Structure 1
Amino acid sequence: MPFEKLEGCEPFILNDSWVSPLNFIEEVRSKMNLPEQVIIHDVTLRDGEQMAGVVFTEDEKVFIAQELDKIGVPMIEVGFPAVSGEDQRVFKRLSKMNLKAKKIALARIMDEDVKLAAECGADGLFYETSINPYFVKYVLGLDSKEFIDRIIKGAKLAKELGLFVEFCGWDTFRINNLEWIKTVYTELLKNVEVDQIGISDTFGQAHPFTVNFLVRKMKEWFPSIPLSIHVHNDYGLATATALMAIASGAEAVETSFNCLGERTGNASTEEVIAGIEMILGIKTNVDCQELYRVSKMIQEVSKMHVAPNKPIVGDRIFDSESGIVIDANEKINRATEIKYAMYPYNPENFGRWLKYVGGKKSGRAFVKQYLDKRGLKANEAQIDEILVRIKKIGTVLKSALSDEDIDRIVELVLG
């Protein structure tokens, strides 16, 4: 039913969620350079497996790729064929399955890598090398011309073989010579029509403002080609920097479920998708209701379980105990019909559900709704007694109570 809106304070509703209107005001949006669409390039199977101790079997990789395809992920980095016969077999098996997603192979700036990716059925390449001058000289042993020539040679071969090509010069953010960055990409694009270029905060060191700066520079230098961002989470900034890159003009982002990846991992697929949809207001065309299910499946397969309070997919993020929060949510819901007014988004949009739990921080509103759901009546004194017992037991247990625990308390008090 209609509710009385408070003048000048109308709730800003997006996807059945009360979100921040400040993300959408002109003063903020005018500072953004948002693309019309954002491509999710999931790297769970390749970069995710680079996390120490993580191993996916051939069958697991095939299954995960199918699941990612089912939920609408448009680019799946399946593996690194040049160093793994298993990955070659995975590509060949997936090639027979008519996936909608592009199957991407990691390839170094080596002709052998490119040829093998094409032979095993990859649709495209994440064609990469560090462009840090120290890597070029001391690891690859090349001078600048030799290095750029090698990049061009492999990219030409890839396009001749009919592959989608994204060139990513990683460790981009530790290079203080902007002209060198510009030169590498300029020379490549002068000679080869690659499909996409990328930059990488390989060690997770860039401040979001720094990401904004370099993304805008890249779009200024190369406005006609899509740009991708690849970031790591070493300072806990991966989601923030990924969203900043998109807000600055990047059209694609590399992510990994559950933040899997080298060291602290990549930007989290589920967090970045949620941020794109709910904070930037751009549709990803990925089925958000399936993110939790896929995350849980990958946790089991990878043996890397996320914290219970991890954004989007943590098991306990919608267990609500605070009496103040529950009371406020119930009151605003009755007044406005906004179901999740005291929560960041509608959990149902992400395959989740809200559960009020009893514990040390509970209030009378929790007890009342608990009894109402069970069709039980209690007077004020009984409600207070139930609450006292819940608080005491929650303090002793140092946890929320189970429904069975609360049922026993209710039975003892109500008789």
Structure 2
Amino acid sequence: MKKEEKQTIEIMDTTLRDGEQMQNVSYTPEEKLTISKILLTEVKVDRLEVTSARVSEGEKKSVLKMLDWAKEVDLVDRFEILGFVDKGKSVDWAKLVGIKRINLLTKGSLKHCTEQLKKTPEQHTQDIRETILYATDKGIDVNIYLEDFSNGIKTSPDYVYYLIDFLLTLPVKRIMLPDTLGIFNPFETYDYVSAVVNKYPKMHFDFHSHNDYGLGTANAMAAVKAGVKGVHVTVNGMGERAGNSPLDEVVASIKDFLPVSFNIDEKKLHKISSYVEMFSGIRMANNKPIYGKNVFTQTAGIHADGDKKGSLYGNKLLPKRFDRKRKYALGKLSGKANLEMSLKELSIELTEEEKKILLQKIIELGDKKEVVTTEDLPYLISDIFETPEDIPFKLLHCSINSTYELKSVAAVQCAYQDKTVDAYASGDGGYNAFMNALQQILTQFDIPVPQLLDYEVTIPPGGKTDALVQAAISWKVQQKKDHSTIITTRGVNSDQNMAAIEATVKMINMIIS
């Protein structure tokens, strides 16, 4: 028997229309063009809803820019705009910018029809008919939004069915069922949507969910199970109030739990989420499913050990599926397996004793609420194994106080040759204040102060504010009257000043040894 093919579900992305209704979010024409290019040619969504008709001259400019590109690559038919029952004004605007399909916003509940429009159902359907026929005459396809469908099907089902019966007499491509206020739960979604789909089996229905209860993805899944042929999403769940159903979560969840498929390239989902995060300025939580920075990071040592022994803690959401990598967090909860997996990724080999010392240092940092990333490891290894345990010159205490528009002040205490010395000094910045205090101490110990030649600060890739900092400082050391040498010392700390101070103390011990 021939295996039955999975039904392919359409994805209509409305990041640039519904998603832009999120507070404080607005995209430039260039940003909209970039987002539309990635969504259509890389992520491969089926359709894009990019704006509302007649919104502003800026939106008109954005649409024209996107469609100029779409004409070059023959993708104009993938673009859609939200239109209104306004007897041709939205259609004329669509025609002007070159759009070939409008998503007509009609009232999907009797309450919206009678109280917002102040019209009878018969009056509203007559206006809809006039707009649809006008669009058809202009060569523009029409999909229909039943705004407030979820309330309508609950409180005025006769009106909803009356409206759908009427729409079936007109040239309508799709009827779209929005949970406009995010009031559905998955059980209601399945029941109500099933009733509509089963009553009109030949019509193409889409489902449009909002995330007010955090159920947007679950409701989209229930709607697909109920028989809709398309779902609406936004990248990163952008949208008004709590937002819309997130593109990546909807695709991954429905694909893994229902016998359907999509045209989406999952390896590009992370890229589009990154671009939208950057352009919108709305940062995603680290634990956001699929895209979050932490979702493919194992923290507990037992989980890393399970991965090492055969993906014992894996599921279908493998990082390579989304073109990402598994990470192993290093902190007080991590164990030897976390460290070994991270070292393997960096191709660093250590002895068992060195691993033990390194892991203990990582645990100590974890107790201070400091996180060590895989990228931090080379710095930490260098700091631990290049520094001897028994050093003659010791920094016992250092306090630096920096105040806006005032000089920094440092209090320093050092020990050398069984003698402890304190010093206080100010300076142009924390490290300068420290060096001025240190010079006082070194003078008392008759230790020469080398000339600082170069000061380089680096952090691991990613640029996190809590990353370990490596300060590499080059010094000119006068060995004899006519001979000098250059040495470089390094310090590693989550605080930039302390990293430089550690490098400086290492330098002092090198020149007195």
TM-score (norm 2): 0.69
Q: Which has the higher contact order (CA 8 A, sep 6+)?
A: 1
Question: Is the partner of 2:232 in helix, strand or coil?
Answer: strand
Query: Which has the larger displacement, 287-296 or 389-398?
Result: 389-398
> How far is 1:397 from its partner?
2.5
Question: Is 2:95–2:138's contact at 8 Å kept on the other side of the alignment?
Answer: yes
* Alpha-carbon distance change, 233 to 52 in structure 1, aligned in 2, over 3 angstroms: same
Cα distance in 1 between the residues matched to 2:387 and 2:357: 7
What is residue 53 of structure 2 aligned with on the other side?
Answer: 81
**Which runs of structure 2 are paired with 1:67-78 in the superposition (5 Å)?**
67-71=38-42, 72-78=44-50
Is the alpha carbon distance of 1:234 and 1:209 closer, same or farther for their aligned partners in structure 2, counting shifts above 3 Å?
same
How far apart, in 1, do the equivalents of 2:161 and 2:39 lie? 34
1:287 to 265, 281, 289: 265
Structure 2 equivalent of residue 105 of structure 1: 81
2:35 maps to what in 1?
Answer: 64
| 2:351 pairs with 1:378 | yes
**1:177 aligns with one of 156, 159, 165:** 156
Alignment CA distance shift 1:85-1:315 (3 Å): same
1:293-342 Cα distance to aligned partner (Å, 9 max, x none) = 11111111111111111111112211222101110111125xxxxxx852
2:195 to 211, 217, 231: 217
Partner of 1:45: 16
Which deviates more, 94-103 or 53-62?
A: 94-103
Could you tell me whether the CA contact under 8 Å between 1:208 and 1:240 is conserved in 2? yes
Which of 243, 250, 253 in structure 1 is aligned with 2:231? 253
In 2, are the aligned partners of 1:326 and 1:356 still within 8 Å (CA)? yes
Residue number among 121, 126, 130 corresponding to 1:149 in the alignment: 126
Check conservation: 2:53, 2:81, Cα contact below 8 A.
yes
Residue from 88, 105, 111 that aligns with 1:134 = 111
For the structure 1 residues 244 and 400, does the alpha-carbon distance in structure 2 shift closer, same or farther, using more than 3 Å as the test?
A: farther
Q: Is the 8 A contact 1:360 1:400 kept in 2?
A: no
Q: Aligned in 2, Cα 1:90/1:388: closer, same or farther, shift over 3 Å? A: same
Q: Distance in 2 between matches of 1:375 and 1:301?
A: 37
- The residue aligned with 1:357 is 329
Aligned partner of 1:36 in structure 2 is 7
The alignment status of 1:366 with 2:338, answered yes or no, reads yes
**Aligned positions, number:** 375
Comparing both structures, which one devotes a greater share of its residues to strand? 2
Specify the code of the residue in structure 2 equivalent to 1:407.
Answer: I
Structure 1: distance between partners of 2:6 and 2:106: 26
Which residue identity lines up with residue 237 of structure 1 in the other structure? L
What are structure 1's unaligned runs of at least 5 residues? 1-33, 334-339
Question: Which residue identity lines up with residue 411 of structure 1 in the other structure?
Answer: F
Given that 1:320 and 1:356 are in contact with CA atoms closer than 8 Å, whether structure 2 keeps it comes out as yes
Alignment partner for residue 314 of structure 1, among 276, 285, 292? 292
The answer for the alignment partner of 2:401 in structure 1 is none
Distance 1:91 1:70 in 2: 17
2:14 is matched by which residue type in structure 1?
Answer: V
**Residue in 1 aligned with 2:212?**
234
Q: SS of 1:258's equivalent? A: helix
Q: Deviations over 1:214-267 (max 9, x none)?
A: 111111221101100001001101011111111211111111001111111111
Query: Is contact 2:327–2:342 with CA below 8 Å preserved after alignment?
Result: no
Q: Return the alpha-carbon distance in structure 2 between the equivalents of residues 308 and 385 of structure 1.
A: 30
Structure 1's 104 and 356: CA in aligned 2 closer, same or farther, altered over 3 A? Answer: same
**Structure 1 residues 36-45 or 343-352, which shifts more?**
343-352
Amino acid in the other structure paired with 2:222: M
> What secondary structure does 1:245 align onto?
helix
* Residue aligned with 2:330, SS: coil
Matched, 1:124 2:98: no
Which residue of structure 2 lines up, in the alignment, with residue 348 of structure 1?
320
Contact 2:25 2:280 in 1 (8 A): yes
Does the 8 A contact of 2:220 with 2:231 survive in 1?
yes
Is the Cα–Cα contact under 8 Å of residues 35 and 249 in structure 1 kept in the other structure? no
Aligned residue type for 1:202: T
**Residues 1:166 and 1:79: Cα distance change in structure 2 (over 3 Å):** same
Counterpart residue identity of residue 118, structure 2: G
Specify the SS of the correspondent of 1:118: helix
> 2:400 corresponds to which residue?
none
- What is the distance in 2 between the residues matched to 1:66 and 1:273? 19
Q: Which residue of 2 aligns with 1:411?
A: 385
- 1:114 matched to 2:91: yes
Q: Is 1:394 equivalent to 2:366 in the alignment?
A: yes
CA distance in 2, matches of 1:279, 1:360: 36
Structure 1 length-normalised TM: 0.84
User: How has the CA–CA distance of structure 1 residues 370 and 63 changed in structure 2, closer, same or farther, with 3 Å as cutoff?
Assistant: closer
Query: Counterpart amino acid of 1:94?
Result: M
Greater mean deviation of Cα atoms: 127-136 or 274-283: 274-283
Shift of the alpha carbon at 1:408?
4.4
Task: Give 1:286 shift.
Answer: 1.8
Cα shift at 1:161? 2.2
SS at match of 1:308: coil
User: Are the counterparts in 1 of residues 109 and 156 from structure 2 also a CA contact under 8 Å?
Assistant: no
Residues 369 and 86 of structure 1: CA distance in aligned 2, closer, same or farther (over 3 Å): closer
Tell me the secondary structure at the aligned position of residue 397 of structure 1.
coil
Residue identity matched to 1:187: F
Q: Which is greater in Rg?
A: 2
- Percent identity reads 26
The more displaced of 364-373 and 74-83 is: 364-373
